[in-house]
Structure 1
Amino acid sequence: MTQQQFDALTKLLRLRAGPTLDAVRLHLVDGMPVPDAARAADVDYQLALKAVYRAKRGLALAISAMT
């Protein structure tokens, strides 16, 4: 995912800026594994994992609505 796509996703899902969103970006844009992204963003692994899941689910719903 590109940074531009990620920015659009955050607007679509109304995600708030913060360390958890930083972890999601590190995973989705930079390809960093979730545990590493969580450590780099200084957030709990489970919190980062749930946020990544929500973002991916929102993306999937957006894509399915368009087809």
Structure 2
Amino acid sequence: MNAAQFEALAELLRMRGGASQEAARLVLVEGIAPAEAARRTGIKPQAVNNVLNSCQRGIELAGKVANNQKAPH
């Protein structure tokens, strides 16, 4: 995922910034391991897992919407 895609995902999920969002960015954009992202941002590994689960669900739902769109008439 690139930075622009992550920003769109964060907006879609109404992330409020902060350590959880930064941890998700580190994992999804920078490729950092979740445990390392937790260490760098000062949050618990479980919090990183929670935000990553939310991101994964958002990606899945956005994919369903995109795949079900019909071509404009």
**Code of the aligned partner of 2:13:** L
Task: Give the Cα–Cα distance (whole angstroms) in 2 for the partners of residues 47 and 12 of structure 1.
Answer: 19
State the distance in 1 between where 2:44 and 2:11 align: 24
Larger-Rg structure: 2
Q: Which residue of 2 aligns with 1:6?
A: 6
Distance apart, 1:13 and its partner CA: 1.0
Runs of 5+ in structure 2 lacking a partner? 68-73
Identity value in percent: 36
1:48 to partner: Cα distance: 0.8
Question: After the TM superposition, which segments of 4 or more aligned residues of structure 1 sit over 4 Å from their partners?
Answer: none
Partner of 1:35: 35
- The one-letter code of the counterpart of 2:55 is A
Gaps of 5+ in 1: none
Size of the alignment, in residue pairs? 67
Aligned Cα root-mean-square deviation (Å): 0.7
Aligned match of 2:19: 19
Q: Distance in 2 between matches of 1:41 and 1:52?
A: 14
